[in-house]
Each structure stands twice: as C-alpha cells, then as structure tokens.
Structure 1
Amino acid sequence: MKNTIRVLISIAVLSAVLVSSFVIFNSFFLNRTEKNYNTPIKVDLNGQSLPDFSFFSPTDSTRLNVLDGRGGRPIVVLYFDPFCPFCMNQIKDLIDSYDKLEGIDFLFISPSQPNQVMKTYNEYNLKAYSNIRLGIDDQLTFLKHFSISKFPTMMLYDGNRRLIGVFEGVVSHGQILSYFKQ
C-alpha cells in the first residue's frame, strides 16, 4: 500500500513539473507577439555608419568586405553560431519569410570554423538567396567592435548604412520590417 502511494505521489509530482515546464515554455517562447518579441539593446553606436570590415568567405575562399553589395538597400547583419539552436531558428525564420524580405540585404557572420559554417550554408540552401552573403569573422573584428556576448545578435542598418538597431536573441521578420518602415 505504501509503495502504491509513493508511486502515485511521484507520478503527480512528475506531472506537475511537466505541465509547469510546458506552460513556462509556451508563455515565453511560443506566444510572443510581433510588438514585444524582442527589444533592441542600448548601444552607443546607433546612427554610426556600417564599419568597413573584411571577412573570410567560406563559399569561395576569398575576402568579403562588409560594404560590398548593393548600395541604398538596408542591411541586416546576423552574428551567429552554427551550434546555437536559437541562431538556427532565426535563420529558418528569415528563409521562410524570404518573399517579405527580398528588399533587404543580409550578411550572416560567424566566428566559427569554415566547415561548421558551410554546414549551415548547405543545410539552409543559402546559395539560393541572392540577398544573403556569408562571412567568417576570422579576426573577430565584428565581435570586438560590437562587444557581442550573445548569439544570435542582429544589427540593422538603413539604406544609408547607418545603424538603427541592435538585438540580442531571435527577432521576428515582422519586427525587422517595422524598423525599416519607420
């Protein structure tokens, strides 16, 4: 009889923990609205021009300048780690929302090894998207300049290449678009 009661109490406690975990996960990660999905962090660099950095391009083994590309278009710099699940969710959201984001250039930058970054490139078929470039921060210049401490970190630059926002964590495509419509 005592063993049956212990088993029932254990099941009840385990059930309570599972339900609580589900409620917490659901409220923090699944039910966020576009308006409060993520808030920009405060940086003293807002309004400054996009820095002139170069990166290693793992797709063609050349140096890539962050300022290369189509002028007059907004740029989103996504600093990511291939081992970060939040980063992979961010990339998936951007890819899934590609039709809404075609007017924005993206630069995905990682401090990771080329073979790991190329796995992400191949897994998400980034070659198919003409407005996405991939770079490796092999000298950690971007990481140091922005004092990046979390993955993913996203920097938004307007068409004049001026910084208008920096985010730590996942940012919805709707939130990105709202910044460029201001």
Structure 2
Amino acid sequence: MNLIKSVFISAYITVLSLLTLWAGYGLWQTASVGYVGLLLAALPGLLFFVQLFLSPKARTSSLLLPVQLPTWAGVIAALIFGDIWVQIGALVAGTGLLAYVFWYSRLGREESEQLLKGKRLPDLAFVDSEGAAVTLQQFAGQPVLMLFYRGNWCPLCMAQIKEIAKGYQALKDRGVQLLMISSQPHAETAKLASRFDAPMTFLVDKGNQAAQILGIAHKDGLPGGLQALGYDSDTTLPTVILADGNGRVIAADQTDNYRVRPEPETFLLWLDEANVV
C-alpha cells in the first residue's frame, strides 16, 4: 500500500499541473465556463503544493477545506457546463484531492508500545552531523526531545524543525536537549545542521535501525522519484518523543496524518505535566 502511495503523490501533482495547463489553454481558445470549472478544480490543489514548497509551514488543517471548497465548486461547474472530457478532467482533480486528504495523508499507523508513557527507551545508536558515532545514553541526565523527521525533502518537516529552533530557548531553560533524527543520507543531515545556530543535535539513523526498534519505520514512505536524489525508499513516521533524564518516555506524539503536527507549546505542556522544571 505504501508503494502505491509513493507513486500516487508524484502522479497526482503531475496530473494537477497538466489539468491546469489544459484549462488555461482552453480558456485562451474560448471563454468557456466549463474550462473555468476545470481550472477551479485543478488549480487550488496545485497551488497548495506550490505554497507548501515555497513557503513551508509545520502543519495544515486535517480536511484542507480552503482547498476542497473551490475544487468542488469547479467540479460542479465543469459537470454542468463542460464537455465530456472537461467533466472527466474535473472529476479526476476532485477524486485525486479526496484521495490525498483522506487516504494519502493518513499514515495508518498503530501506536508503538515502545513509546508508551513510562517506557524506558533502548540505547539507540546514531551518527552525528560530523560523522561520529553517538548513542542515546550519551544524553542521559537531562530531558531529551527527539524529533524523528522524514528528510530534507519534506517541507512540513523542515518547517517544524525551523519552528523548534525559533523557540528553543524556552526548552533550553527547562534543561531539554534537542535531537533531530532522520535516516536520510549523512550529507543531507550535515547540510541541514549548518543552517541552524540553535543548540540542536542533528543525527542520522543509519539504515533506519532506531526507527525500526521504536516501531516508527515507514516502509516505502518516500514519494516516488526522490530516490534519484539519493534518498532511500524507506523513511520514518513523523514522531516526537520527550524522555526524562533516565530515558523514560514522558510523552510522544505519533500523528496519523503527516500534515498534522504538534504545536511547540505542546512540548512545554508535556514538561509541565511531568513536573520538569
């Protein structure tokens, strides 16, 4: 199923682009309400992805109503005023959006028993941005916030890391160490680490081994085609873990929708609830 999803997202964005071009060409040729409908059906979804990459944000609404409403208005207009091919194109855009919102975005994950509150984390092994071997035990003694992110290719992950970096002082004041973890190639992690001055430690989970131990590995989670950039097809499910100085889980966010991420204030609430000062 994940393999089908990896193909779907690349195909969906491509189809939206083609439908938008077709609608624009049709409107240039003739002022048809049907083509206006087709443009409305395809363009909002395409603009959503363009905005996501050009101006990344850490989270979106679950239902994406600002995208769905104009899309379905366009589908209705195309069905009423368009010819059969315009109608089919609009329906493809509409059903593609439904598939993206209610199927692709859902991760279908089960909560990992390794991340239950009070569970002691194993001594996981990583490689830091300088290439040195690191274990989780080296961070013992102080609380640790671990963000398992998918990779530099994921705009929501990049926005989430930027958000944490911006508000790091509040976490630092509580003695929290920040670990950003991904199984992406070391060169990508080193590149990302160089962009931030905040005291965050960027780690590589080689072979996705830590993610597998924790039950948060995402087989075939990479969108199709990105393998050409050096990324592995298997990645990690977006996960945030807060552990105390003894390595016991205080709380964990195991989102089932890759577009829905916890707010930074959530981490402070976790600390408050655990009486970590």
TM-score tier (shorter): 0.7 to 0.9
Comparing both chains, which one has the higher relative contact order based on Cα–Cα distances under 8 Å and sequence gaps of 6 or more? Answer: 1
For residues 118 and 92 of structure 1, the distance between their equivalents in structure 2, rounded to whole angstroms, comes to: 15
Q: CA shift at 1:145, angstroms?
A: 0.7
Q: Which residue of 2 aligns with 1:10?
A: 35
For residues 11 and 108 of structure 1, the distance between their equivalents in structure 2, rounded to whole angstroms, comes to: 45
The alignment's TM-score, normalised by the length of structure 1, stands at 0.74
For residues 106 and 85 of structure 1, the distance between their equivalents in structure 2, rounded to whole angstroms, comes to: 20
Q: CA shift at 1:158, angstroms?
A: 2.8
For residues 45 and 194 of structure 2, the distance between their equivalents in structure 1, rounded to whole angstroms, comes to: 37
Q: Which stretch has the larger CA shift, 88-97 or 154-163?
A: 154-163
AA of the residue aligned to 2:187: N
Alignment partner of 1:42 out of 107, 111, 126: 111
Q: Which residue of 1 aligns with 2:210?
A: 142
Q: CA shift at 1:180, angstroms?
A: 1.5
Q: Which residue of 2 aligns with 1:172?
A: 263
Let me know the Cα RMSD of the aligned residues: 3.1
For residues 187 and 166 of structure 2, the distance between their equivalents in structure 1, rounded to whole angstroms, comes to: 24
User: For 1:128-149, what per-residue CA distance to the aligned partner results, in whole angstroms no more than 9, with x for missing partners?
Assistant: 333x212111143211112222
Q: Confirm or deny: 8 A CA contact 1:109 1:137 kept in the other structure.
A: yes
Aligned length: 164
SS for the counterpart of 2:113 is coil
Q: CA shift at 1:162, angstroms?
A: 1.0
The reply to whether residue 52 of structure 1 matches residue 143 of structure 2 is no
Q: Structure 2 vs 1, CA of residues 29 and 155 (structure 1 numbering), >3 Å: closer, same or farther?
A: farther
For residues 4 and 93 of structure 1, the distance between their equivalents in structure 2, rounded to whole angstroms, comes to: 46
Alignment partner of 2:164 out of 94, 99, 103: 94
Alignment partner of 1:161 out of 234, 247, 262: 247
SS for the counterpart of 1:175 is helix
Q: Which residue of 2 aligns with 1:28?
A: 62
Q: Which residue of 1 aligns with 2:185?
A: 113
Q: Which residue of 2 aligns with 1:79?
A: 148
For residues 244 and 64 of structure 2, the distance between their equivalents in structure 1, rounded to whole angstroms, comes to: 29
Q: Structure 2 vs 1, CA of residues 17 and 43 (structure 1 numbering), >3 Å: closer, same or farther?
A: same
AA of the residue aligned to 2:62: F
SS for the counterpart of 1:141 is helix
The reply to whether residue 181 of structure 1 matches residue 267 of structure 2 is no
SS for the counterpart of 2:203 is strand
User: For 1:78-105, what per-residue CA distance to the aligned partner results, in whole angstroms no more than 9, with x for missing partners?
Assistant: 1122222221111011012122221321
- Structure number having the greater strand percentage: 1
